[in-house]
Amino acid sequence: MIEGDASPLSLLTLLALLGALAYAAAAGSAVLHARAVGTAPVAAVSAPARESARLLVQRRRTVPGADALLWRLGGALLPVAAALAALVVPLGSTAVSDLSVGVVWFNAMEVLAWCAVWLLGWGANSVWGLVGGYRFLIQGLSYELPHMFALITAALGAGSLRVGDIVAAQEDVWFAVLMPAAFAVYLVSALAMAFWGPFDAPVGRDAAGGAAAEPSGADRLVLLAGRYMLLAVVAAMAVPLFLGGGAGPLLPGWAWSLVKTLAVLGALVWTGHRVPTVRMDRFTEVGWMVLLPLSLLQALVVSVLVLVR
């Protein structure tokens, strides 16, 4: 728990909030899709609930030669990784656990997504699934280092790996203002981590759904829920890292945390619908030639400022 006058955030409350944010992301995506195809956006708000009910009663597809354990383990790891990462994300001034190495914990749980998507593609014994799984590994190699340096830059500015200390260090000015390149790299890498558009090639239509080609029924529901939960948790973590946490006028800290999280989540969902899918070779080039040098330069500038202040 983050020290302060607020009550500790219970695990049950955290999971409920994460589920609500994931549903909000799915509903927002459905509304944007409805507007694009010219159907009623209001009816799309309930689309995730109707799709969940349909998948729950749908019979699971059987693939000859598939490794059912790896396949289902891969799908289940995504929501588990998102929930574990969320343990260190504060709501206002309180979190389930404010670890002294909270930034490292968050990054380690995100890396589980690599394992999850690859297992999902490998275990399905499907060429499309395997293509999707390896695409995500390549994508991960391109975004993970810039993402890690963006996280470390925020920790460097605060002089601590504790998420609560990073929030406290933004009392005067948000890190999004002091280190805009790190904030931008974090958002781009967050989209890639959640294999959300424009970095959704691992589940692309050109590969018949890629890593998500074979899961059906409850397996597909768990996969989709995990993906939206991952998107929600990376949006929520942007708030304490770069947007001052729960700081703000009039409203209590928890309310500001939710408002800022919804704003970031809305921007990520909107970007996924507005920007076309980036080819893997292009993203790999951008990741190594642009994002990594940019994040390193930002970290260097912040390091110098920390030394001279």
The reported pLDDT for the residue numbered 304 is 93
With respect to residue 2, please indicate whether it lies within any of the assigned structural domains. no
Q: Using an 8 Å Cβ cutoff, are 131 and 41 in contact?
A: no
The reported pLDDT for the residue numbered 2 is 45
**pLDDT category, 3, cuts 50, 70, 90?**
very low
Helix (H), strand (E) at residue 144: helix 127-158
Instruction: Report whether pLDDT(74) > 50.
Output: yes
Lowest mean pLDDT among 110-114, 178-182, 185-189: 110-114
The reported pLDDT for the residue numbered 8 is 64
Instruction: Give the N- to C-terminal CA distance of the chain in Å, as an integer.
Output: 30
Average pLDDT of every residue of the chain: 90
Domain count for the chain? 1
With respect to residue 140, please indicate whether it lies within any of the assigned structural domains. yes
The reported pLDDT for the residue numbered 210 is 83
pTM above 0.75, yes or no: yes
The reported pLDDT for the residue numbered 7 is 58
pLDDT tens-digit series, residues 249-305: 999 999 999 999 999 999 999 999 999 999 888 999 999 999 999 999 999 999 999
What values do phi and psi take at 94, rounded to 5? -135, 145
The reported pLDDT for the residue numbered 1 is 44
Q: Using an 8 Å Cβ cutoff, are 227 and 161 in contact?
A: no
With respect to residue 3, please indicate whether it lies within any of the assigned structural domains. no
Report which DSSP code applies to 128.
H
With respect to residue 51, please indicate whether it lies within any of the assigned structural domains. yes
The reported pLDDT for the residue numbered 41 is 82
Range of the domain at 180: 8-308
Length of the chain: 309
3-state class percentages of the chain: helix first, strand second, coil last, to nearest 5? 75, 0, 25
Report CA dihedral (104, 21, 3, 103) to the nearest 10 degrees. 10
With respect to residue 1, please indicate whether it lies within any of the assigned structural domains. no
DSSP 3-state of 32: helix
With respect to residue 215, please indicate whether it lies within any of the assigned structural domains. yes
The reported pLDDT for the residue numbered 44 is 86
pLDDT tens-digit series, residues 127-179: 888 898 899 989 999 999 999 999 999 999 999 999 999 999 998 899 999 99
Instruction: Report whether pLDDT(64) > 70.
Output: yes
Q: Using an 8 Å Cβ cutoff, are 257 and 92 in contact?
A: yes
Q: Using an 8 Å Cβ cutoff, are 139 and 223 in contact?
A: no
Query: Percentage of residues in the chain with pLDDT exceeding 90?
Result: 60
Other Cβ atoms less than 10 A from the Cβ of 293: the count is 11
Which of 137, 123, 109, 82 minimizes the C-alpha distance to 212?
Answer: 123
The reported pLDDT for the residue numbered 294 is 95
